[in-house]
Every structure is written in structure tokens, then in C-alpha cells.
Amino acid sequence: MANVDGQWDCVTKTPMGEQKSVFTVVSNGDTFTGSNAGPMGSLDVVDGKVDGDTLSWKMELKVPMAMTMDATATVDGDTLTGTIKLGAFGVAPMTGTRKA
């Protein structure tokens, strides 16, 4: 079982440019809670699941528009690589490194 817990310095390449955030993961068996906090505010993890080294979760964006984002990421040591589905705006790649 991979160590997925911690705070991750992330960059998501969105159609509106690169969005930096701190993604917090607190696992509990095959589920996790946490948040993704950036300049636009913080989004709570919804329905977080852990499958080995793979995380999957949803985030509910309220502003600037209501949107449910589906995300998946794989943890490899201190590196996180994934994607966030931005509703009608396509898929944004997300990368992160674990904070020391």
C-alpha cells in the first residue's frame, strides 16, 4: 500500500492557465478525505477512494460556475500525477510533489 497521505504542492494545467494548489490527503483504509486549496479558495474532497497507489475523488466547484470535477491521481514515492475532468472544459493534467 502506497503512502498517499500528506500535503502535495500541485500544479493543474487548466484552459485558464496553470493553477497552483495544496492538495491534502488523509487516508483511512480504502477511502480518504482532504481538500485542494488554491488562490481561488479551497475545495473539499468528495467520495475519495484509495486503490493501492491510485486516488480518485470529486470536487464541487461553486464559483465562478457550478461544476463537479472528477479527479484521479497516482502516487509514486513523493510524486503525484493525475488528471481532473473539468466538466465541458475537457481534462486538465495535474502534477504534484509531496511537501517535506
> Is 2.40.128.120 the CATH number for 4-96?
yes
pLDDT in tens, 73-85: 999 999 999 999 9
Report the relative pairing of strands 6-14 and 67-76 from DSSP bridges.
unpaired
Q: What is the mean pLDDT of the chain?
A: 94
pLDDT at 2: 72
- Cα end-to-end distance, the chain, whole Å: 20
Q: How would you write the chain as a 3-class SS string? A: CCCCCEEEEEEEEECCEEEEEEEEEEEECCEEEEEEEECCEEEECEEEEEECCEEEEEEEECCCCCEEEEEEEEEECCEEEEEEECHHHCEEEEEEEECC
| Region 34-40 average pLDDT | 92
